[in-house]
Structure 1
């Protein structure tokens, strides 16, 4: 940087546009892809009366079974206050219930209800055409390739990071 302003001979600056070759390009592309996927999936869930944040918790509950709120927060990347609001919403909609944990009266586990499971399954049916629309511009085999690459990026082998 010179006294007159920034040095223009340094590497290019992040733009977030296609073709961005900066070190931030991958993160910016992932952010844009996430935003687009979240928008499309939100459209699928809206008629069912839930939001992505509700569905994210339901995924954990279906996968793990009854789960304490602290673990729900960690699994969904939420904070304690946020997860409490989501669980309150799910309880109000009768999609989940809080139950006492044997041996610790202070801790409550959240469990999906039968109504919650039915809505969870309905969400998958509703999301199918939206998911197809999301990847419509990809060529045959590219969806699987994209999933493989993103899986390796999101879940690196132990020792890598």
Structure 2
């Protein structure tokens, strides 16, 4: 006995009408972008997980370590390993928080800022190549739409 196959199966095919298609396309796009950016960061000696922490530190300044997990989309153990690596490389430091010795604040170092800047230069060409099939206004619109999906207004999550 064979089951009927629904006409809107969730696949990675362009034009899939399944309600799951958007998630699958986002995942495929993420994997492709992650692979491209991983290659751009490799010569600098860091991985995307390290760069995610550096982005937060550049954006927010010194940040409590536990807040890095939620901000980077990682778990606590993953963030601790990334911060350990950054600290070993001299790109970030942990400091105690006055009044609570159990809490650690993570801060980017001057070497971390230099690497952050170098990573942006290294990623420019691969990032352009990633969206080469889009018109410039389409690439900007895509970023805008993805931002709205990733960060919905309060109450819509």
Q: Same fold (TM over 0.5)?
A: yes
Match for 1:144 among 123, 134, 140? Answer: 140
**2:56 equivalent to 1:71:** no
Which among 94, 98, 107 is matched to residue 103 of structure 2?
A: 107
Q: TM-score, normalised by structure 1?
A: 0.92
Q: Distance in 1 between matches of 2:90 and 2:118?
A: 15
The structure number with the bigger radius of gyration is 1
Q: Across the two proteins, how many residue pairs are aligned to each other?
A: 157
For 1:91, the equivalent position in structure 2 comes to 87
Structure 1 residues 73-103: Cα deviation after superposition (integer angstroms, max 9, x where no partner): 1111111111111011001100001111011
1:121 equivalent among 86, 104, 117: 117
Structure 1: tracts of 5 or more residues without a match: none
Cα deviation, residue 66, structure 1: 1.1
Matches within 5 A, 1:25-104: 25-104=21-100
C-alpha separation between the residues in 2 aligned to 1:46 and 1:55? Answer: 11
TM-score (norm 2): 0.94
- How far apart, in 2, do the equivalents of 1:98 and 1:37 lie? 30
CA distance in 2, matches of 1:10, 1:76: 37
Q: Does 1:19 align with 2:15?
A: yes
Task: Kindly report the root-mean-square deviation, in angstroms, between the aligned alpha carbons of the 2 structures.
Answer: 1.4
Whole-angstrom distance in 1 between the partners of 2:50 and 2:31: 17
Q: Gaps spanning 5+ residues in structure 2: where?
A: none
> Secondary structure of 2:136's match?
coil
2: CA distance between counterparts of 1:80 and 1:30?
A: 24
